Structure 1
Amino acid sequence: MDQNTTLGPGDEVHQTTHAPDRRHASEDFVRRPQSDMILLTAGLLLLAYLLGEVLLLVFAAVLLAVGLDGAARAIAARLPVSRGWALVGVALGVAAVILGALSLSAARLVQQFQELRNTLVDSVEAVQAWLSEQGATALIEELDDGDGGLAGSVGDLAGHAMTFGMSAVGGVASAIILIVLTMFLAANPALYRGGLVRLVPPGRRAMAQDTLSALAHALRWWFLGQLASMVLLGITVGLGLLAMGIELWFALGVLTALLTFIPFLGPLIATVPIVAVGFAEGTQTGLIVLIGYIVIQNIEGNVLVPMIQQKAVDLAPALLISVQVLLSIVFGVVGLMLAAPLTIVAMVAVQKIWVEHTLGEKIT
């Protein structure tokens, strides 16, 4: 048809009736991948929720394996031994330390935890008595609302904590699975890493290798930083309380070390029993304990942790606390304990896969 030819009415109608069909077809083509991706994401989230306990157990094994592998590589680089023998030495050393500590102090630790529970209950009753003397009867009634009052609730909470601890100790099957998975992963990490990379299309395997290397580096240094924090705070708090003549120094030191594994929230939770026991010994002792713990915590948080996090990932406190609360609601204590390394995995994956390899922005 000539370019100067004017289209007739029929031709105009013919074009206007087919243009919407082509437009709707293209919109459906664009929407289908989006809807499929939404359904796939929802399905994966549902599957992760249903298999949450199993996935968390596997992730805990991966985290421990990364730590053992890092220690073995560091020893092999400095001593004339192979990585395999270094890994055997690290595993045996860790097992010896744990078994030795349990054999020497398990009974004493259980006894001191029971005494700690009684001390916390007595502290709550003392607070209630002081409030009653001040005339805060309405507040006392609210605190006493329920069976046993606030002191009974604290006792029940401590009892539940002891029951949970005994259940954790009795969970032999989960512990054995965790140990076996950790050793297999640490013994030959290249096997499992190569399997993951082969699941990725050939054109993206370099990105997958880079991301996995960054994840291993970040998790290794985070794990090292948490262990250093646990040892520093546990020993410092325990020895400080021992120097002040507090009988429950050992239990409080161990409790502080264990809770320090949980960033931000763990040391705050540890403050409650430490300060309660300090004030049970006297007002002056309680103030000294409180000030000393604040000083130790600030040194750990402002000196040691930043030095380690320079080689790992600097976690934003608000983000981490939000993830901790969410995972603790969904998966309980285990989710709270693993919230920080899971957040690190998510942050490193986003930085590597999306920011660097997709957007092309290099993160310094």
Structure 2
Amino acid sequence: MPDTNEHDLGSSPSRISDPRLRHEVNRALVWAAVFGGLALAVTVARPLLAIFGAMVFAAIIDGGARLLGKVLPIGRTWRVALVLLAAVGFLVWLANFAGATITREAEQFPAIIERQMGELIAMARERGVEINQSQLQNYIGNVTSGIGTVTKALGGLLGGVATVILIVVIGIYVAFDPQLYERGVAWMLPRNRRESFYVTVDRMSLTMRRLMGGRLLGMAVEAVFTYVMLTIVAQLIGIGTVPMAALLAILTGLLAFIPNLGALVSGVLMVLVGFSGGIDMGLYTIFVYFFVQNFDGYVVIPMIAKKTVDLAPALVLAFQLIMGLLFGIIGLFLADPLLAMIKVALERRAELTDERERIRIAKNGA
């Protein structure tokens, strides 16, 4: 006589006896887990990106504090405070000294770009190129609207204020005592992995400091060279000061933070404004663009690349496009540092794998 308990268990509605049906249910559960994981990733991606932005900001502050430590024998807290005071002082100067000029120029900037685009369209039509007027007007409107947003931000109106404040606050906390947060994360890991974690974090921190230091140096070089070439040099050769030179210099410096795409955008804007002052000025702005980019590409970047992570330009551009599509301007700004950190982590993982393989071979040989 069969056991009643076994019979009841076998006929339980929660148990699937057909192996094919059980296989299909397992597949459905896997796909549900995948989509659930993707939904969770999309939900928490932006907060995690803001936290990563805070780490980037902390690395910049930490790099400045370490540089000060080479010339000022004072405590780390005081050095971090000096770096923050210097940053606040620069922003105050930018708002007071250059703010009025930049705001005035920013109001004219979209109109100049739209007028130059219209002239380019007319020139193309004269040469027999058919252009959809309504669609192109929409494109121009979108471009000028985006430019207006950027230039208003330079004039003092910041977008995403809450995110920026969050990044700054977290970054300051981390910069004052980074070891505290490293120990907190390490505490959550198994003991046998903590030493490897500290090595990886040290390498990431060094790479981030060098990458950000080099990026800030490149931004400063491009901004200063652009302003000098558009004002002093332009007057010396008889062309006259290029309109909106200060705004173009600051835009060029800021966009230099975004490799590849930033240089292209700043160059297009510079040339469009240049041709608003005539053919000679337009050709001169083309020369300025190539001169500044070549100086940065062949002099500044090679010196930086020797001491930081080497990233393939095509890989950086592809990652920028993905991050920009997913997260907008913040994704573009953080794409390069995030890619560098991923590369360091993968290199460390490969190193640990090789080390374990050598140990295994040594044990088998013994």
TM-score of the two chains, using structure 1 as the length reference: 0.81
Q: State the distance in 1 between where 2:337 and 2:53 align.
A: 9
Structure 1 pair 147–64 and aligned structure 2 pair: CA distance change class (3 A): closer
Matched, 1:87 2:76: no
SS at match of 1:200: coil
Matched, 1:169 2:158: yes
Q: Which residue of 2 aligns with 1:62?
A: 55
In structure 2, list runs of 5 or more residues that go unmatched: 1-25, 235-240, 357-366
Q: Which residue of 2 aligns with 1:207?
A: 196
Q: State the distance in 2 between where 1:250 and 1:165 align.
A: 11
- State the Cα deviation string for residues 43-75 of structure 1 (Å, max 9, x = none): 655433212221111111111111111221221
Q: 2:325 aligns with which of 329, 354, 358?
A: 329
Structure 1 pair 333–87 and aligned structure 2 pair: CA distance change class (3 A): same
Q: 2:134 aligns with which of 126, 145, 149?
A: 145
Q: Is the contact between residue 57 and residue 168 of structure 2 (CA under 8 Å) also seen in structure 1?
A: no
Question: Could you tell me how far 1:330 is from its partner in structure 2?
Answer: 0.9
- State the Cα deviation string for residues 312-346 of structure 1 (Å, max 9, x = none): 10111111111111111111111111100000110
Q: State the distance in 2 between where 1:153 and 1:39 align.
A: 39
Identity of aligned residues (%): 30
Q: In structure 2, what residue type is equivalent to 1:128?
A: I
SS at match of 1:169: coil
Q: In structure 1, what residue type is equivalent to 2:262?
A: G
Q: 2:175 aligns with which of 186, 209, 214?
A: 186
Q: Which residue of 2 aligns with 1:49?
A: 42
Q: 2:283 aligns with which of 284, 287, 297?
A: 287
Q: State the distance in 2 between where 1:220 and 1:257 align.
A: 19
Question: Could you tell me how far 1:170 is from its partner in structure 2?
Answer: 5.3
Q: State the distance in 2 between where 1:319 and 1:126 align.
A: 36
In structure 1, list runs of 5 or more residues that go unmatched: 1-31
Q: State the distance in 2 between where 1:170 and 1:331 align.
A: 14
Q: 1:264 aligns with which of 248, 260, 267?
A: 260
Q: Is the contact between residue 48 and residue 55 of structure 1 (CA under 8 Å) also seen in structure 2?
A: no
| 1:7-156 mapped onto 2 (5 Å cutoff) | 45-136=38-129, 139-140=130-131, 142=132, 144-146=133-135, 148=137, 151-156=140-145
Q: In structure 2, what residue type is equivalent to 1:101?
A: L
Q: 1:359 aligns with which of 342, 354, 359?
A: 354
SS at match of 1:313: coil
Q: State the distance in 1 between where 2:153 and 2:315 align.
A: 28
Q: In structure 1, what residue type is equivalent to 2:116?
A: S
Q: CA RMSD in A?
A: 2.7
- State the Cα deviation string for residues 11-64 of structure 1 (Å, max 9, x = none): xxxxxxxxxxxxxxxxxxxxx9xxx99998876554332122211111111111
Q: In structure 1, what residue type is equivalent to 2:228?
A: L
Q: Which residue of 1 aligns with 2:306?
A: 310
